[in-house]
Chain A
Amino acid sequence: MEKILEKILSYNKAWFGLIFIGSVLNAIVLKLSAFNNVPNISIWCFLVGFLVGIIAHIRDKWLWI
C-alpha cells in the first residue's frame, strides 16, 4: 500500500497538471465565449494540463530555467 502511494506521489507534477492546471484552464475557457462551440472543451483542458504536468515530470522542473 505504501509503495503504491509512493508511486502515485512520485508523479506529483503530472497530477498537479491534470487536476490543478486542468481545472483552472477549464474554468477560464468556460468563461470565454470564443470556446462556447468547441466540443469536449473540458476534456481538452484537462488533457493540456496533464500534458504540461507530464512534461514537467520528465524534465523534473516546471520552468525553462
Chain B
Amino acid sequence: MDIANSPSEEFSFEKEKAIAKKYAQRFQWEMILIGVGQACIWLSLWPLVINEIIPLWSGFIIATICACFAYLPSHEAQHGNFSRGNPKKRWLDSFVGNFTLITLIYPYEVLRVTHMKHHAYTNDKEKDPDFQTSNAKSIKEIVLLVLDGTSPDYEKYKEVFASDKAFQKAFDKGVKIALLLRFALMVMVVLYPLQTLLLWWLPAKLGSIYTTIFFSYYPHIGTEHGRYKNTRFWQHWIPRYLNHSMQLHFIHHLHPNIGHYDEPKAIEELKPFLIAKGVPGAEDIPDRVTYNPLIKF
C-alpha cells in the first residue's frame, strides 16, 4: 500500500503516526530489568549448580525460563528503543542486546541487522531472513529446524545483502561474538559437561524454539506482502502474558518504536486505523486490550 495515499483523510498515515509517536517515548526500564535480570539469574545458576547448592534439574528449569525471557529485551535494543535516538545512550542498546543474548548463545549484531531486513522485506522468500520459520508448515517443522541449527541460515543472507556495506560490517562484528560464544560453550562443556548441556545448550534450544514459534511463526501465518498485510492479530489458548503478547506483534511491524509494554494502549487507540487499513484479524481486536489475556480456544 502507498502509505502516502491512504484510503481517507480520517485514517491518514500522518494521523496514525502521530498517535503511534505518543507511545514511542517512554524509557523501557522493564525490558532492561528483564534482560539484565534473566542473564544475571542464569549466570548465578552456574556456581549454585556446580557447588551443589541447587540440583541440576532445577537449574535446568530456571535456565529454560531465563532463555524464554532472553530475546525480547534484545529485540527492543535492536530497534534502538532504549537509546531512542540519543547517541549518548546507544551503549545501552548494545549492552542490553549483547548481555541478554548470552543465554540464547546468539550474537546481537547478527540478529540486529537480519531483523532489520526482516522488517524491510517481511514475507519475501529471498530477502526475509525469517521467511523459513514464519512460513513453516507446522510447529513440528519449526522445532526440527531450530534443533538442527539451520534456522535461519544467516550465512545465506550475508550473500543476499552482499552490497549493503553497513549490513556486512555489523554482520562481521556479530560473527566475532558468535565465535566467542561458541568458544565459551566448548570450554565450559569440557570443564562441566552435563551442566553445560542442561544449563546452557538445551535451555538455549528450548528458548529459541519458544521464541521462533511465538515471535515468528504465529504472527505471520497466512499473511502477505505489504505494510498492513504482513503481520496479523491472532488469539490463542495461552494467555498473552505467557507468550510475550505476540498476538499484538502486528503493531510492532507498523511502528517498531512503540515500547513493548505500551503496545496494548497504542492498539486500543489505533484500532479504527487498523481496521480501515485492513490489518489481518483487526476486526477481532477487543476494544480493551490492556489487561486482556486474549484467550481463544
Contact = CB atoms under 8 A, between A and B. Distances in A.
A26 B148 contact: no
Interface residues of B, number: 18
B189 A19 contact: yes
Contact of B193 (A9, A27, A65): A27
Interface in A4-24: 9, 12, 15-16, 19-20, 23-24
Interface in B171-202: 179, 182, 185-186, 189-190, 193-194, 196-197, 201
A16 B193 CA distance: 13
Contacts, number: 37
Contacts of A26: 193
B144 A63 contact: yes
A61 B189 contact: no
B25 to A, nearest CB: 44
Given A20-B185, A27-B193, A61 B148 contact: yes
Contact of B148 (A15, A20, A23, A65): A65
B145 interface: yes
B7 interface: no
A19 B194 contact: no
A65 B145 contact: yes
A27 B194 CA distance: 7
**Binding site secondary structure of chain A:** helix
A16 B197 CA distance: 13
B193 A23 contact: yes
Nearest to B147: A63
Nearest to B194: A27
Contacts of A20: 185-186, 189, 196, 201
A33 B134 CA distance: 46
Interface string B185-224: 1100110011011000100000000000000000000000
Contacts of A62: 147-149
A28 interface: yes
A59 to B, nearest CB: 10
Contact of A24 (B147, B150, B179, B197): B197
Contacts of B194: 24, 27-28
A3 to B, nearest CB: 16
B193 A61 contact: no
Contacts of A19: 186, 189-190
Nearest to A20: B189
Interface string B7-35: 00000000000000000000000000000
Nearest to A63: B148
B147 to A, nearest CB: 6
Interface in A29-58: none
Contacts of B148: 61-63, 65
B199 to A, nearest CB: 12
Given A9-B179, A20-B196, A24-B196, 18 more contacts: A12-B182, A15-B186, A16-B186, A19-B190, A20-B189, A23-B193, A24-B189, A24-B197, A26-B193, A27-B193, A27-B194, A28-B194, A61-B148, A62-B147, A62-B149, A63-B144, A63-B148, A65-B141
A11 B26 CA distance: 46
- Max chain A CB contacts within 10 Å: which of B141, B182, B193, B196? B193
